[in-house]
Chains A and B, each alone.
Chain A
Amino acid sequence: MSHIKVELKKEDVAKLKEICKSFNNKPGELINVLHQAQTHFGYLPAEVQEIIARELNISVAKVYGVVTFYTFFTMIPKGQHPISVCTGTACYVRGAENVVEELKRALNINVGETTPDGKFSLSCLRCVGACGLAPVVMVGEKVYGRVSPDGVADILKEYE
């Protein structure tokens, strides 16, 4: 993962320190700190994790362990328009898998990847609670319901 080298700007480092400080630099607040750091940076590269570890006085291994444990945290930058396909059971039985396949084909990336131009990233998530509209695809915050493989092209077109 460390192949993505990130130069952190001075103000980014200051922001990180500020986030840690707002939680009194308590090790028990690690997950809250990571949530805010990810909101700020969009993802959690190794450099960010190192600073958090130093500020909370815990090992980088511990921070990395927590980041990789939870699917919400990511070390790869998401695309400008992150696409998430719901693969909860309701969406699964109504054909979400075929929608994932079509998206993979249309974007030419795998699940968990970002297109080379940084425009789209593709991920699967578990149940957004809109089972009545299954299968469901989210682009950013927008929810698309009753999506069929044929409808994928139309959705992508909206973001071109």
Chain B
Amino acid sequence: MAKYKSHLLVCGGTGCRASESDAVFESLKAAIAEKGLEQEVQVIMTGCFGFCERGPIVKVLPDNTFYTQVKSSDAAEIVAEHIIKGRKVNRILYTDPKTKEHISDSKHMGFYKKQIRIALRNCGVINPENIDEYIARDGYQALGMAFEMGPQAAIDLIKKSGLRGRGGGGFPTGVKWELALQNKADQKYVVCNADEGDPGAFMDRSILEGDPHSVIEAMTINGFCIGASKGLIYIRAEYPLAIQRLKIAIGQAREYGLLGKDILGSGFDFDLELRYGAGAFVCGEETALIHSMEGDRGEPTFKPPFPAQSGYLAKPTIVNNVETFANVPVIFLKGVEWFTSIGTEKSKGTKVFALAGKINNVGLIEVPMGITLREVIYEIGGGIKNGKKFKAVQTGGPSGGCLTEKHLDTPIDYDNLIAAGSMMGSGGMIVMDEDDCMVSVAKFFLDFTVEESCGKCSPCRIGNKRLYEVLNRICEGKGTMEELDRLRNLSQVIKDTSLCGLGQTSPNPVLSTLDNFYDEYLDHVQNHKCKAGQCKALMNYVIDPEACTGCTLCARVCPVNAISGERKMPHFIDTTICIKCGACMEKCKFNAISIQ
């Protein structure tokens, strides 16, 4: 490889590409070419840096300078000033929101300080479309180590590391592998679950887009450990970039003899195929996923038999999540002792979270297990947007629950989150502020579950629909006290009697909001009030006669003529006509209109 003096890394993740990082990449290349620096400076498009809030991101190596919200028009200046003259372009450096100082080195940014990147170790560092860059970062060494150790010793290593499934359940990965090793069969399969369907989680996509080889290497190790010669990656068809990069990576691995026959002279054969999901959340459940790969409706079936006993085409099958696989090679390289030194007693290592919602630093973060919510929200996330008050954080997606202020100092791990009435899930972490109505949030998740329920078992198909209807009535101010009790009872029945993980966890958003925000439910039912001002049926727009100047603007924008009043006199909204569109409040220049 050519030796370059410095590198310009442009984020090629979905978030940054949506804000046109492609154009930034091309402009930087053009600017470098114009100055004749192609032999000294390399421009690379990498995977996600995680700091999606301020994309597009450009990082300059070796000095770690971190430019945010870069436009293609900035390219010439970056090259002329930074690369040639060595002067950083302050204008686009990250500014610390507290001290208002420019921070040039990403290591000193609050967003990165508390992070430990294991699964994301190569994201934003290497060019995902070049296998040499992965190999230069010790890629495919773990595979060689596994070959030397032999299957049982390699499985023992994973068992000792305490690695647990990162897709949601938290099942010990090594134990799963051992079960598949013990089951004798002429053909076994390794499956990577990349059907990321949790709304608000995108870590699997970022890993596949930023570091596809780590997953390919881990799947090959897994295949060697259990004696499987075939691997399948089940990926969402909605992830075109991840699919494209996986295809490139698989092609390169075959070319290098890292996939195919007699890998690295070990006598072991392994190859990979892609299978496409078609948009069904329930296919994240492993039995449903297997049925979908067989060309059927993705409906789950009863366990046992577990897939490790009888899975794809009735052969022993291991299904692991993308993030779980991404952890595997590092455990071989750095050892069990190092891995187990990170995390809590029963949850080792790190977890990737997609931090989003009403928070200043939206992005993808990887933190050690045992970190507190407070550290995540206030130190990494930079606090709540627009200085509003923190209300809740939702983890675990549609299967999880809401955590509140009292959970802020609880160390995050699998068991603590379940004890708090939520779960780890795949790692969505949505922050909500005082303007979010928790009944509406529960309704939002139930709406999702109703739509995504496969319909096979009645508790999930019918029960969730009834839960949704009750929540809807409460949001319209038509709920009764009896219905509040019914919500809780029905939730419990659905949890106890549903067939698969989706149904068994679907009432969690209802139960956790009932537990933590019962007052809000009461307010809706008894006082017909929604304090957050989200439930339209319960709101009334009111004009403050003191503040109103009688400018008539509100009356003119009202689409249903519900506002009356003389010019220069206080106006009045007729609530029987008002459709609560909010146009008047938006237009009022005197803040005279409020929601009550």
Contacts and interface: CB of A to CB of B under 8 A. Distances in A.
Given A69-B297, A71-B280, A133-B18, A89 B237 contact: no
B296 interface: yes
Interface stretch (A7-15, A22-30, A75-83): A22-30
B404 interface: no
B52 A130 contact: yes
How many interface residues does chain B have, given as a range? 35 or more
B15 A129 contact: yes
Interface string A127-160: 1111111101000000101000000000000000
A51 to B, nearest CB: 16
Nearest to B362: A132
Given A65-B297, A93-B357, A93-B436, A73 B278 contact: yes
Contacts of B238: 72, 125, 128
A70 B356 contact: no
Which residue, A31, A90, A125, A145, has most C-beta atoms of chain B within 10 A? A90
A89 B278 contact: no
Contacts of A93: 357-358, 430, 432, 436, 441
Interface in A59-103: 65-66, 69-73, 87-90, 92-94
A35 B14 contact: no
Nearest to A93: B357
A34 B243 CA distance: 18
Contact of A35 (B52, B237, B441): B237
A32 interface: yes
A141 to B, nearest CB: 8
A89 B14 contact: no
A71 B279 contact: yes
Interface string B444-459: 1100100000100000
B167 interface: no
A127 B237 CA distance: 13
Interface string B419-445: 000000000101010001000010011
Contact of A89 (B196, B296, B356): B356
B357 A89 contact: yes
Interface string A18-62: 000000001111111011000000000000000000000000000
B329 interface: no
Interface stretch (B72-80, B197-205, B365-373, B478-486): B197-205
B16 to A, nearest CB: 9
A85 to B, nearest CB: 12
A80 B280 CA distance: 25
A94 B202 CA distance: 17
Contacts of A26: 295
Nearest to B203: A129
A109 B109 CA distance: 46
A87 B54 CA distance: 22
B205 to A, nearest CB: 5
Given A31-B276, A88-B199, A134-B356, A66 B295 contact: yes
A119 interface: no
Contacts of B18: 130, 133, 136, 143, 145
Contacts of A30: 295-296
B52 A133 contact: yes
B496 interface: no
A104 interface: no
Interface bracket on A: 35 or more
B394 A27 contact: no
Given A28-B295, A31-B295, A131 B278 contact: no
B316 interface: no
A133 B19 contact: yes
B397 interface: yes
A136 to B, nearest CB: 7
Contacts of A90: 199-200, 354, 356-357, 362, 430
A132 B54 CA distance: 8
Given A93-B436, A132-B15, 17 more contacts: A28-B294, A35-B278, A66-B296, A72-B237, A87-B199, A89-B199, A89-B356, A89-B428, A94-B357, A125-B238, A125-B279, A127-B200, A130-B202, A131-B52, A132-B55, A132-B356, A133-B19
12 contacts: A28-B313, A66-B297, A87-B199, A89-B357, A92-B199, A93-B430, A126-B197, A127-B198, A127-B200, A132-B53, A132-B363, A143-B17
The 9 closest A-B CB pairs, nearest first, are: A132-B52, A129-B202, A70-B278, A88-B199, A90-B356, A143-B18, A89-B200, A30-B295, A131-B356
Interface of B: 14-15, 17-19, 52-55, 196-202, 205-206, 237-239, 275-281, 292, 294-298, 313, 354, 356-358, 362-363, 394, 397, 428, 430, 432, 436, 441, 444-445, 448, 454
